[in-house]
Structure 1
C-alpha cells in the first residue's frame, strides 16, 4: 500500500514568552524572563514548513491554542469578566497567569501519539492526545488538542480518536516525543518504539535531579488503545543520567525514521538490549535496522542538550536518501558542527543536513522535532485530511500575512497582565479557524463570550 509521512507543525501562538515554566528543560529555565518576539517565532516556524513543502514533503499546520486560558483561571477560583480575572491573577498569582498564558502547544510533538493504519487492529490511523500531566501549563492543552485534531482528521472511516489518559503521575503521557515508528516502508506494518523515563510499579531506577515525565504504564496503555500487536511494540527506558542532564523527552537524545535510528550512546538505560530488541522486531517486518550512534567523546550529552542535535527531523527524500533537519545551534556548537561534517563525509544512512533558524523556539527548549507531529498516511487517508491545513504557496502567504496582522514583536512577563493580549489572541484565532476551516474549536467560540472590558 502506498503511503507517505506527513509532518504537521505547530504554529507558534501570539502569547509566546519566556516564563521558565518547564523544570527539567534547561533552555526554558535558563532563558526565563527574557524578552520574546512572538512574530519572529511564528515566522521562523512557518518558513520551515514552507521550505520542507517546497522540497516535496507533505507538510501541514496545527493552530495555536487560546491563551491565556480562561478555563484554567476560572477553575482556580478567579471570577468576574475575563479581563477582571486576568488582572486579579496578575496581582495575586502571577505564576499561575504565566502558566495560563504559555504558548507551549506549539510543540506538537507532545500533542498526541499517532499509530498509522498498517499497525492498528482496525486499519485506521489512531490518535491519543497526551495528558501532559507533569506540567500545569501543558496539562491544560488536551481538550483543545483533541478538538483540533478531529477538525483536521475528520473522517471516521480513516481516523480513530481516544480520550487522553487519566491525568495522574502514574500515567504520565508526553505524546510522540517519546514514540518512534520504524518500518521498511510507510505503507507496511512496522514497529512502534515507546521510550519511558520510569515505571510507577516496577521499581526502575529513576533520575535524581529532574522528573521522568513518561511512564511505562502510559506507553503500554496507548499501545493497547491503538490495537498494536505485541510483536510490533518495543519498550525501552531512557537513561536516568540523560534526564538529569536536561533530556526531558526521548526526542532530545534520539530520533528515528523508517529503518534508521540516530541516537546518543547514552540515550537508553540498556543501550545494547534496546538495539537488539528493535533489530529483532524490525527484521520480522522486512527491514534491517541501521543505527547511527553518536559517541560521547565526540558529542557530550551536554552538547546534545544545548544544540538539540537529536531534536532534529529525519526525513526520507523521494530518492530514498535521508535528510537531517537541524537548528542553527548545531552549527554554532563547534563539536556538534564538526560531527555533522564527519557524518555526511561517511556517506552513511544520513546523507544531507539542512539548517534552520528557530532561535525563538529553541530558547524555550524546543527544536525542529518538537515543532512537528508525524502522521503516516495512505493516499486515501491524505485525501481525507482537511485540505486547508496543508502548507503550499497560497496557504503560506495567507498565514504569513495573518501573523503580520495579529502578532506583537515584543512580549515580556509583565505584558501577560495586559487584558488586551487576550482580545488580540481571540481575534487572531477566530480569523485563523476560518482560514484553516476548523469550525469552532476554541472555548471562546463555543461559549460565545468574547473578552469583556471592565
Structure 2
C-alpha cells in the first residue's frame, strides 16, 4: 500500500489491557508456566488483582499513552461443564464438578483471559494489502482452560472493531495440535514508527509436520505451545508477504526453563528488539533476517546469560515488560516490581538498558503481583493494536480509558469483586450469580452490547 492509499498518518499504539475477572484464582493450570504451577492452591484476591490492573492502565493513560480496556470472560463456564456431561441445575452442576472433577471446575473458572497478549494476533493497516486492521483470535488449544476463550474473544473484538471498512476479522485456526496458536505473545512487529511499514517476527516452539527430526531440537521438560504452521497460517490470513515476515524457533532450553511464550524472553517496539541471549535457537540467523527485511536499522538490545540467568528472567519477568514509544524518540520500559527485587536483574536494568546505547531512557516499576503469581506480567496483560486517528474514531463502544471510565470501572470492581477466593470457593453458586450480574453491568458500562453466552440466550 502506498501513502496515497493511506492518508491517515497519525498512527499510535493502543494497549488494550484485559480486566481481571471476578473469578481470579490460583489453580496452577498452566503446564510450563512456573509461576502458575508454584502458586496453585493459594488464596487469591480478585479485587486487588483487578485494581492493580486498573492502576497500571491509569498510570499509562496519565503518562499520555493510549490505553484501552477488554472485558473478562464469563466464568464459571457452565456451558463447558454441561458439554462434559454434568447435568441438572447450576447448583447441581457446580457441586458435581467440585466432587467428581475439581481440576475441571478450576479450569472453567479460570480468569486467564486477563492476559490479552494471548487474545489475538493483530496486523495494522499499514502492513495489510487491503489497508484494514486484521485480527485472528488465538485458538489457545494447548490448554483446556484457555481453549474456552476464543469464541467470546472473537465476539468482543468484533463488537469493538466493528467497522468492516477498516477492520477485518478472521476465524481462529483449527483447534488441533498442528495449528496451536497462542496469539500476540509469540508475535512482535518491528518498524521505524507505528505508521511505517513493519516486519512481523513470529516465534514458534515446534514444527507440527517436521517434528522428531534430528535437526529440530525439542524441549524435554515442558511442551512447546506455538507451531510454525500456526504462525504461517495467521500470516497468510492477514495477507503478509514473505518480505514482511520472519519465523524464528524458540530456544528449547528456554521453554524448559519456563519460557512458555516468547514474550517471557523478548519484547520489541519500533526498531528495538530487547531479548535474552537464549530467546532464539538461531540468534544470528533471526537478527540477520530481520535486518534484511526492515526498512530502518534494527536496534537489538541483547541481555547475556551471564548477566541474567534463565531462572532470573522467568522469576522477574524482565522481558514480559511493556516497551513504549515517546514523542521525543525515547522509550519507556514498564517492568513488574519483581525486577526491582532481583539484584542481578535490577543491576542489568541500570547497566545494560538505561546506560546502554539504545532508546530506552526510562524504567517504570508497577505492582501486578496478583497477576505475576499466576504467571503474567505487564506485557501479558495487554494486546497492542496500532491504529490511525480515523481507525480510533471508528471504535465502537466505550473502551478507550479516560478518568471517567477509570472511575466507573474502579467502583464496579469494588461493588462486585470478592477480596478472597480459595479453590474451594469456586463451587459456590453465589459466585456464579455474582459474576453474571457484574458482567451484565460491565457490558453496559463499556457499551459493547451482548457478547456473553448468558446474554445471547
Q: Give the structure 1 partner of residue 61 of structure 2.
A: 53
Shift of 1:296: 0.7
Please say if 1:408 is aligned against 2:418: yes
Name the CA distance, whole Å, in 1 between partners of 2:13 and 2:271.
Answer: 14
Scaled by the length of structure 2, the TM-score of the pair is: 0.96
Name the CA distance, whole Å, in 2 between partners of 1:446 and 1:382.
Answer: 27
CA distances 1:222-274 after superposition (whole Å, capped 9, x unpaired): 00000011101000000000000000000000000010000000100000110
Give the aligned length.
444
**Counterparts in 2 of 1:272-351, with a 5 A limit?**
272-282=284-294, 285=295, 287-342=296-351, 343-346=353-356, 348-351=358-361
SS of the residue 2:267 aligns to: strand
Q: After superposing the two structures, state which structure 1 stretch, 122-131 or 384-393, moved more.
A: 384-393
Name the CA distance, whole Å, in 2 between partners of 1:423 and 1:345.
Answer: 52
Q: Give the structure 2 partner of residue 452 of structure 1.
A: none
SS of the residue 1:256 aligns to: strand
Shift of 1:386: 2.4
Shift of 1:216: 0.2
Contact 1:279 1:288 survives alignment (8 Å): yes
Q: Give the structure 1 partner of residue 248 of structure 2.
A: 236
Q: Give the structure 1 partner of residue 376 of structure 2.
A: 366
- Which of 63, 83, 88 does residue 96 from structure 2 map onto? 88
Q: Give the structure 2 partner of residue 385 of structure 1.
A: 395
Runs of 4 or more, structure 1, over 6 Å off, are none
Please say if 1:24 is aligned against 2:32: yes
Contact 2:299 2:358 survives alignment (8 Å): no
SS of the residue 2:398 aligns to: helix
CA distances 1:366-413 after superposition (whole Å, capped 9, x unpaired): 000000000000111011112510111100000000000000000000
Q: After superposing the two structures, state which structure 1 stretch, 382-391 or 299-308, moved more.
A: 382-391
Scaled by the length of structure 1, the TM-score of the pair is: 0.97
Contact 2:329 2:359 survives alignment (8 Å): no
Shift of 1:319: 1.6
Name the CA distance, whole Å, in 2 between partners of 1:387 and 1:423.
Answer: 25
Unmatched tracts of structure 1, length 5 or more: 448-454
Q: Give the structure 2 partner of residue 250 of structure 1.
A: 262
Name the CA distance, whole Å, in 1 between partners of 2:342 and 2:454.
Answer: 44
Name the CA distance, whole Å, in 2 between partners of 1:154 and 1:211.
Answer: 36
Q: Give the structure 2 partner of residue 394 of structure 1.
A: 404
Name the CA distance, whole Å, in 1 between partners of 2:194 and 2:359.
Answer: 17
Unmatched tracts of structure 2, length 5 or more: 1-8
Q: Give the structure 2 partner of residue 35 of structure 1.
A: 43
SS of the residue 2:344 aligns to: helix
Q: Give the structure 2 partner of residue 197 of structure 1.
A: 205
SS of the residue 1:236 aligns to: strand
Name the CA distance, whole Å, in 2 between partners of 1:125 and 1:189.
Answer: 13
